[in-house]
Amino acid sequence: MEREMPDKSVVVNLNEFERTRRVQVSPEIVSALHNCRDLLIEGSTRVLTRQSEAMENALLAMAERAPLLETRNSYYAAQSTLNKRANELLSACKDAYCTRFNDFAHARDKAAGADMLELSLVDDQDFEITLVVDKATSRLRYNCAEELVALDARMAHLMGRSDLSENDNPLGPRALCEALLEGIGRVQSEQHVKIVLLNQFDLALTTELAHIYQSINRALIERGVLPDLKVGAKSRAQPSGAQGAPASGGTPQAAGADPGSDIFRLFEQLAGGGGLVPGAAGGYPGGGAGHGFGAGFSLVDSLGQLQTGSILLPDGGRFTLPLAEAATIQNVLRSLQRSPVMQAASPLDAVLVDAVAMLFDVVFDEASVPDRLKAQIARLQIPVLKAAMLDRNFFSQPNHPVRRMLDAIATLAVHLPDNEAGNARLDAISEVVSRVLDGFEQDVAIFAFAATQLEAMGTLLDDTLDRTADAGLQHEIDEIKQAERAELAPVIVHDFINRALKDQPVADTMREFLRRDWAQLLTRDYLQEGETGAHFNSHVETMRELVWSVQPKADMDARLMLVRILPGLLKRLREGVAEIDLPQKLSDHFFATLVILHANAVRPNAQPVPLPDISPEDIAELTPAAEAAWNGTASTAVGSDLEPTAVEIEDEFTARARALNKGDWVEFHYDDGTFRWARLGWISGVKNTYLFSDQDGMNSFSIGLHRLADKLRRGEAVLVERKSITESAFGKLLNLFRQKLGVA
């Protein structure tokens, strides 16, 4: 227990000193930090999920080439962990990173004396781990050098520090690698397997992490954190001149903020042109005098009244907009433009009204947003216009709260199946929209709060769908894998046998046994477990030992080795022969031959003992019975309801199908005029079979690559891009206004 110091004591209580020295982090900074944290770890886990099958294939290839059994086992164990526990593994990595990051964000210091405790000897395992983390960190930092210079500076500025070393940045590669290693350790405790998995994660992230850091830099720029810092803001996918320019009024905009970066300048040009925009003063007969609006007229105040009901005109009449009901899609801003309210508006205000009206026209034409969601967006027309009048950053900032809310609503389209669950989700969206309609006056923060709620809803639904679909598709995935293994089994098995026999002087009887009889056992193992299965590899190893055992043994060491392994080898061979129900006569002939081959292998003279004979007629008579079980197994695995084949054409549609990743959505259209959305849940790396599930992750179907490409080619399938509808709309809007002005 600490003793309290006297009031006049000259002794400094170091614990109290450390508490007072800590920087108090504001809620705004914590929010920015959490946003950056989520961008990094969510982006990284998405990349790793997308690359999981490629990592598995790489591990299998490395295991095949590895000369040492221990190394091969590490690769196989890592591949098995990825194959069976990928979701658990990535979830553990995400949790580990968030915990570490939160400790930093909340300034949780190490316990007193922790630094002293760290001055201890490091054992070989810890040293090896340190080297691996250092190597992974260096590789990632090298590929993200430009982005990290800017990110280190912005994080230092955000935390009120003069500088921030590269390894102290909680968003840096070292913090990420250490968290990934910790998460891997929660699922896989074996040291070498953890190292193998970390190396694979590092390689998968090497080419993708720079883009994630670019998005974090853009997010910090939008929050005003060193917006003029040029380093690291450049997009690799765009020319260097595509940086966002400051909008009128000197407010710096986010890098890559096109098309909004110069849109307001076009508005001002249009307003100065006079008569170009319907609704501008002078644009209607009589100008603004017909209804006697005074000089103190405020369009924003009028919008506030229209948001809650009607507006009182100077002549005593009332003007009310058509109701934007949840069941209708109507651009009420067009009615506003034709109203007497607009006759007293300034030219620039009239341009802004026209711009927002055109924005909603584009959104309402967006085919990827269903009508019942468009109806919810339609309810927000007056609040959105009012917000745009109050905060003109709406036109230039892609991450503006109002635009975030509209985008969040549109993104939820994939989670609205036409059933009870979809209707309940639509009701929840409607409640959020109603709160904005009732509560918005001047502060656009209400849109930010609503956007956060909707985004959280989308994230929760995505996560729930991931878990539901992964569980629901597992049976179909297993069936497809087994069917593909059945097709590949003869090729794979005979390849293993040929490699075992390559350049080995083996009697024809032994070759025939391996290719005719032992191949049945290997095929059965491959169908059940695949190439990495324990039984398959055990029987392959038995085959290799068998081939070695019948080779001539010129020295005593080789003969002693044969004596040691022979009892176990014969035991495994008899068990294998029993598994495939080899006829007794064939079995007896094989083992009699094997005895002579082993005797010949250790004979000091060159005169071999002749092998026992069996007539070809006996073999032909017995072989069909031995193969019957294998033929039945293979036919069962392949199944009878195979998908019809499609013509293999390599074009842009095939490329689009190949580019699909797990979690992408496709809209399938049918002859009766109906359509349904399907989410891609799994892609076979062997035959490019795509497995889809519906919006609830329940019903599933599979389709081949070229058949899917053919549907895309015919318009029977359309890729659903979960993009920002407001960004897309502003791009079209910018082109429209440029056409009005005759700007190229």
Average pLDDT, the chain: 76
Could you list the beta-strand ranges (E) of 373-455.
none
Q: What's the CATH class of domain 652-722?
A: mainly beta
Between these two residues, 68 and 741, which has the higher pLDDT value?
68
Whether the link from the prior residue into 505 is cis, omega within 30° of 0, is: no
> Locate tokens 């990592």: which residue?
55
Q: Tell me the pLDDT band of 239, cut-offs 50, 70 and 90.
A: very low
Identity (one letter) of the amino acid at 249?
Answer: G
Give residue-wise pLDDT tens across range 86-142. 989 999 999 999 999 988 766 544 443 334 334 444 456 777 888 888 888 888 887
Between these two residues, 247 and 22, which has the higher pLDDT value?
22
How many Å separate Cα 670 from the centre of its chain? 29
Dihedral sign from CA coordinates of 495, 496, 497, 502: positive
Helix, strand or coil, per DSSP, at residue 692: strand
- Non-local CB neighbours of 735 within 8 Å, separated by 6+ positions: none
Dihedral sign from CA coordinates of 325, 330, 333, 334: negative
Are residues 399 and 216 in contact, defined by beta-carbon separation less than 8 angstroms? no
How many Å separate Cα 601 from the centre of its chain? 57
Give residue-wise pLDDT tens across range 158-189. 888 877 777 789 999 999 999 999 999 999 88
Beta bridge partners of 683: 690
> Locate tokens 């450049």: which residue?
234
pLDDT of residue 609: 55
- Non-local CB neighbours of 116 within 8 Å, separated by 6+ positions: none
Give residue-wise pLDDT tens across range 537-596. 999 999 999 999 888 888 888 888 888 888 999 999 999 989 888 888 888 888 888 888
Between these two residues, 463 and 166, which has the higher pLDDT value?
463
How far is it, in rounded angstroms, from Cα 645 to Cα 717? Answer: 17
pLDDT of residue 392: 77
Query: What are the boundaries of each domain within the chain?
Result: 20-111+119-222, 260-470+727-741, 504-638, 652-722
